Amino acid sequence: MTLAPTATPAKPRRRRRRNLTLTIGIVVTVAFIAMALASFFYLPHNPNVPRIPDRLLPAGSPGYLLGTDALGRDIFSQLMVGARTSLLVGAGGGGTALEAAQVRHAASGTAGPSRSCPPRACRSVPATRGWMRRKMRQLRSMFPSTPFASAS
């Protein structure tokens, strides 16, 4: 007598809840980056040239998506150039911090034997480079005392 195979009950599918704030943040960030990248190729008006006859136009005016300021400069063009500048400064600062961290880690990695190194294995590494390890330790202990500098 053989038993008929029983079907295992299907697990209910869990729907992923979309986080609304995450979605809004992603959309705003992508729009900001797209606007900054588009400013390299297209600007509706020169953001630095004043146009006195077009001053203080409201948003949605013909030719001016977000209107103009007190000197008649296009606000949307200024926003595009500002987004470009912000992204370039942010990328430059992040790149500089990355390079500084790589140099610091490379220097501390070649700074001589560590304390966990067995004595026989560490004989080939000169012990005169212990000063570098001490300086790296002092540098590491200094970073938490400065606000916003402990990112690396």
pLDDT in tens, 71-81: 999 999 999 99
All structural domains of the chain with their residue ranges: 23-99
User: Do 85 and 40 contact (CB within 8 A), yes or no?
Assistant: no
Burial of 64 (0-12, 13-18, 19+ CB in 10 A): buried
DSSP lists the bridge partners of residue 74 as 68
Distance of alpha carbon 43 from alpha carbon 22, whole angstroms: 30
> Mind listing the pLDDT tens digit for each residue in 43-70?
999 999 999 999 999 999 999 999 999 9
pLDDT for residue 25:
94
Q: What are phi and psi of 66, to 5 degrees?
A: -110, 10
pLDDT digits (tens, 9 = 90+) for 21-45: 999 999 999 999 999 999 999 999 9
